Structure 1
Amino acid sequence: MFYTNCNHISVLLDEAIQALNINSTGVYIDGTFGVGGHSKLILSRLAKQGRLLAIDRDWISVKIGEFIAKQDSRFTMIHNVFSKMNKYVENMGLIGAVDGILLDLGMSTLQLNDYSRGFSFMRDGLLDMRMDVSSGQSASEWLSKASLENIAWVLKTFGEERFSKNIAKAIVAERRYKPFTSAIALSKLICDTIPYRNMHKHPATKSFLAIRMYINDELKEIIRVLNDALVMLSPKGRLVVISFNSLEDRLVKYFIREHSCVVSVPSKLPLTNYQIFSKYKNECQLKNMGKLTPSKQEIKRNVRARSAILRYAEKLIL
């Protein structure tokens, strides 16, 4: 099967599975299947009664998952955005019965290494950037008609790019002569526009990240799935999220913080934990289990891991 030589290394693989605290007969969701690194390790921990649902919007990933599903009846592969997983969970009668949800945000190495998709600013390819090439507008289509103000806003909001206005002006000026269809052409334009060079980061990194996140509606997707996770998880079920940039991580951090129970109660007040949680049940739905980052050894093996942060929480029994 072609996925075996895609050179993908799952980041924080063992840590993510440990954070899920797997029950061998439980129900789990891999919300970002990719090439199946996390899914295969989860399956190895499940008994015959266990179940794993995986979802991905990328058709190549779906084909990989379908190949595994044909060999393992415990596994179900779904093609969709992960914000729609609650619909499948509801149809299967599993609302409130999911023991763990894993989200490994961002791109897979499979997508990044496929230069024809336009995700990489290092090699040429069609400037597409859609995770699901069967729907939505491509990056090239958006850049051909977006206003200068909209382009600048996207670069600033999603990429935190300090030179967003300069880059937007250069894009609008250049597209009058020819449309942006090449990833390397956009990368070169950004490099030529930015006056300041970060020795640790390619000049086009933030802009490519911003355009990709906007085209795929990634932040809204994260917000939707996090909110749905509260309903899908069973008591003591785990939510595990690996993020790779500050915007993603802040969303996850604040979500867990908002729904975690940190209540100060006078020591002599005669209230049980159940009574405290019941009083604050709208806020107290999760227990914050903390965060994990890659070891120096993992970063040395896989440079992509350097920005990864894993945060996890457990749903409270109310």
Structure 2
Amino acid sequence: MVLSSLDYHHTPVLLTETLAGLQPRPGGWYIDGTVGGGGHAAAILEATAPDGRLLGIDCDPAALAAAAARLAPYGERVTLVRGSFREIGRLAHEAGFVQVQGVLLDLGVSSYQLDTPERGFSFQASAPLDMRLDPDAPMTAANLVNDLPERDLADLIFRYSEERSSRRIARAIVEARQRRPITTTDELAEIVSRALGGRRGRIHPATRTFQALRIAVNDELTSLDAALPQIVELLVVGGRMAIITFHSLEDRIVKQFMRAEAQAGHLRLITRKPVEASSEEQRINPRSRSAKLRVAERA
């Protein structure tokens, strides 16, 4: 489903910090591998005026439609393509972005995606159990929940969310699906909540399980692993990569990759520790609380 740009809401996190890390300059060529609604991209285009160029990539057609509307004033300085950042090297070369001054990945799910019930990312409303960032991808969360063997389901939940009660949750899911298929977000959230004794803390009991399923459906960690070395190859000497993550598994991959590349002499670390949102940004945009930014420069 493609909505108008007015329907696509996403506040770019760590915007000031990202610009400080990337240091976009007039005339430079930049890639936003997760362009979303175009918030970060617009700021980069402003900083690179009058002749900087930007390639925006996203697998979600609703995001690209919103980005196209938001970035229309920048005309031919913008190129938008649909695709996954896991193929950023190929997509960049096809668009003529062979050597660039900066690359950004913002790995968070957008507010639009979270708040649009039919996308199935949230359990705040009853919706189809979907969770695909790319609505044309073949596998949904419902496929995993209803088809995976119990042990595989438990392993998936633990691997992608570090949920210590993953085996209890998987057992409850399998028992429930034997009665009838699990097809909606609220059904799954209730099953997980009951399996965990309905505990109520700062986060909903099903939060980790939903995170794990979303990561698996979209193959997020494998995509990140694949993208990072391609990004290094795209950067000119002195070019910078800025990666924003939202959970520890992603941040660990980025941290370890950047450190290894720095030891090999390919990168120079700009941020020794991740940059986090200020208390003011967290107050205004609570979804920025878990954001972490790491920046490195091509050596």
Bucket of the pairwise TM-score, normalised by the shorter protein: over 0.9
Check the 8 A contact 2:37/2:70 in 1, yes or no: no
Greater C-alpha radius of gyration: 1
Partner residue of 1:38? 40
Question: Alpha-carbon deviation of 1:164?
Answer: 0.4
Partner residue of 1:79? 82
Gaps of 5+ in 1: 262-282
Q: 1:91 aligns with which of 89, 94, 98?
A: 94
Question: Alpha-carbon deviation of 1:145?
Answer: 1.1
Partner residue of 1:270? none
For the pair 1:312 / 2:295, whether they are aligned, the reply is: yes
Check the 8 A contact 2:8/2:63 in 1, yes or no: no
The normalised TM-score by structure 2 is 0.94
Q: Which moved more, 1:64-73 or 1:43-52?
A: 64-73
Which structure 2 residues correspond to residues 228-243 of structure 1 after superposition, within 5 A? 228-243=230-245
For the pair 1:288 / 2:285, whether they are aligned, the reply is: no
Distance 1:203 1:54, change over 3 A: same
Q: 1:201 aligns with which of 191, 200, 203?
A: 203
Tell me the matched-pair count. 294
Partner residue of 1:128? 130
Question: Alpha-carbon deviation of 1:62?
Answer: 1.6
For the pair 1:21 / 2:23, whether they are aligned, the reply is: yes
Give distance in 2, aligned partners of 1:3 and 1:59: 11
Q: 1:192 aligns with which of 184, 191, 194?
A: 194
Check the 8 A contact 1:35/1:110 in 2, yes or no: no
Check the 8 A contact 1:69/1:76 in 2, yes or no: no
What residue identity is the alignment partner of 2:268? K
Question: Alpha-carbon deviation of 1:230?
Answer: 1.2
Give distance in 1, aligned partners of 2:70 and 2:79: 9
Q: 1:299 aligns with which of 255, 270, 282?
A: 282
Give distance in 2, aligned partners of 1:239 and 1:94: 15
Give distance in 1, aligned partners of 2:97 and 2:113: 31
Which structure 2 residues correspond to residues 162-173 of structure 1 after superposition, within 5 A? 162-173=164-175
Misfit runs of 4+, over 4 Å? 68-71
Give distance in 1, aligned partners of 2:293 and 2:217: 25
Q: What's the C-alpha RMSD, in Å, of the aligned pairs?
A: 1.5
Give distance in 1, aligned partners of 2:87 and 2:8: 27
Give distance in 2, aligned partners of 1:127 and 1:115: 10
Q: Which moved more, 1:110-119 or 1:62-71?
A: 62-71
Distance 1:65 1:5, change over 3 A: closer
Partner residue of 1:65? 67
Partner residue of 1:211? 213
Distance 1:65 1:8, change over 3 A: closer
Check the 8 A contact 2:130/2:142 in 1, yes or no: yes
SS in 1 for 2:37: coil
The normalised TM-score by structure 1 is 0.89
Check the 8 A contact 1:69/1:77 in 2, yes or no: no
Gaps of 5+ in 2: none
Question: Alpha-carbon deviation of 1:93?
Answer: 4.3
Fraction of identical pairs, as percent: 35
